[in-house]
Amino acid sequence: MNPKQILSMIKDQDAKIIDFKFQDFPGTWQHFSVPARVLTEESFEDGFGFDGSSIRGWQAINESDMLILPDPTTAFIDPFCEVPTLSLTCTILDPITKQPYTRDPRTVALKCEQYLKSTGIADTAFFGPEAEFFIFDHARFAYGPNYSIHQIDSEEGIWNSGSEEFPNLGHRPRFKEGYFPVPPTDVFQDLRTEMVLTLESLGVEAEAHHHEVATAGQSEIDMRFDSLLRMADKLMIYKYVVKNVAKRHGKTVTFMPKPLFEDNGSGMHCHSSLWKNGKPLFAGDGYAGLSQMALYYIGGILKHAAAVIAFAAPTTNSYKRLVPGYEAPVNLAYSQRNRSAAVRIPMYSPSPKAKRVEFRPPDPSCNPYLAFPAILLAGLDGIQNKIDPGDPLDKDIYDLPPEELAHVPQVPGSLTQALDALEKDHEFLLKGDVFTPDVIETWIKYKRSKEVDPVRLRPHPYEFYLYYDC
């Protein structure tokens, strides 16, 4: 869709408001709106000014003026606004130089696609994330100098089996048994269907939806793969739709990786593949039907995994999920079909077009405009340097004897360790000026000062249980 078609769409849909959506540095959608009459064809070249100093991880107050540049290909009528509203996703420009702003996450994804083409290796990288989430009925949390509390609840939570409800119908998935019960145990069938149909109406193709492993409403909607930038755009729409459909029904959704103790967390397994001139490049006669290029791609991901995870599992809570025993891929190995490996080669279809690599450590708290490029650049580095991934591991890794397991490297055990790894290993991210040194340094500084230190400095409620009587 071009600017002229956007103006026609505004007229046809009788849109009164234009909503500009863009991402802050950590990965949350921000927005502001203008009357529809303000948008002209020139707007798609001139942009709109706003204050960038109030956006997380961005400008200082003495250099706060920024420009948003709407992308006409991202237009949709927002289904959650009472007044007809046209939504446009935007990239960010420096108002003086008119150059893309390096800390704008969407700019990073754009540059990554440009760099891929410049290598001659491929012209398209397809991504297919599987973002899981929890649907809760209630969520409250607060913290002060002398208290801390969080409480979540779900009508589906197994802990409500003994609650004094009249009637208490008793159909609730037990811990780790939420995959795939039919209604009445799965109470969110219709809600997820509404989410899927809303996504489809906005041009986001869904392939399936289902209850996930955990109790208390853990769910997943699978989207059809798309190119790196478009998939990142669609993932932001996905999160927006899922949260707002839930709110419409008095529910709340979280993409927090580990909101529940003693049950599975929410991951976002990322499928990726490279294509050139309309032909897939990952199919071949090697292990699991892979090409040598695909094996080198895996080698790059495994080599740089710890640094990539600083973007792909970017919260302190992410490492409550990345622990053994909860189907979490903590071991840096690759395998066909084996979900206990960090890299899996799905074997559902013999078609060369279906051949892809699945990287399993990411979770849906990540910023896709940064996580997808980090994964791709690690894989490209593997191809460029012919990095051998070693032998596959087709065993249940969790059942390996200790002496054998000791030779299998693991993902970082904390956000601190992941950031340390990124600090040491990020040259592969700087290729093509996709990530700049400033982006890497700012990400590390922001995560340490705004997330790692605040969590590290505060007493944990469970510490009172352990140590109060010491």
Catalytic residue IDs: 51, 130, 132, 212, 220, 269, 339, 358, 360
CA gap 254, 293 in Å, rounded: 37
DSSP state of 13: T
Q: Which of 137, 59, 141, 121 is nearest to 92 (CA)?
A: 59
CA gap 152, 148 in Å, rounded: 14
The stretches of 249-317 forming alpha helices (DSSP H) are 292-312
C-beta separation of 199 from 221 below 8 A: yes
CA gap 115, 310 in Å, rounded: 21
Residue corresponding to tokens 């109790």: 215
Strand-strand pairing, 218-223 and 124-136: antiparallel
CA gap 185, 333 in Å, rounded: 36
Beta bridge partners of 227: 126
SS3 443: helix
Question: What is the Cα gyration radius of the chain?
Answer: 23
Sign of CA dihedral 450, 456, 459, 462: positive
Q: Cα–chain-centroid distance for residue 157? A: 25
CA gap 171, 194 in Å, rounded: 22
- 43 sits in which H/E element: helix 43-46
CB atoms inside a 10 Å sphere around CB 344: 23
C-beta separation of 272 from 126 below 8 A: yes
The beta-strand segments (E) located in 178-307 are 206-211, 218-223, 226-227, 252-254, 268-276, 279-280
Through-space distance between the first and last CA atoms of the chain, rounded to whole angstroms? 66
CA gap 131, 62 in Å, rounded: 38
Strand-strand pairing, 218-223 and 85-93: unpaired
Q: Which of 376, 229, 355, 236 is nearest to 297 (CA)?
A: 376
Q: Can you read off the two tokens belonging to residue 372? A: 């997808």
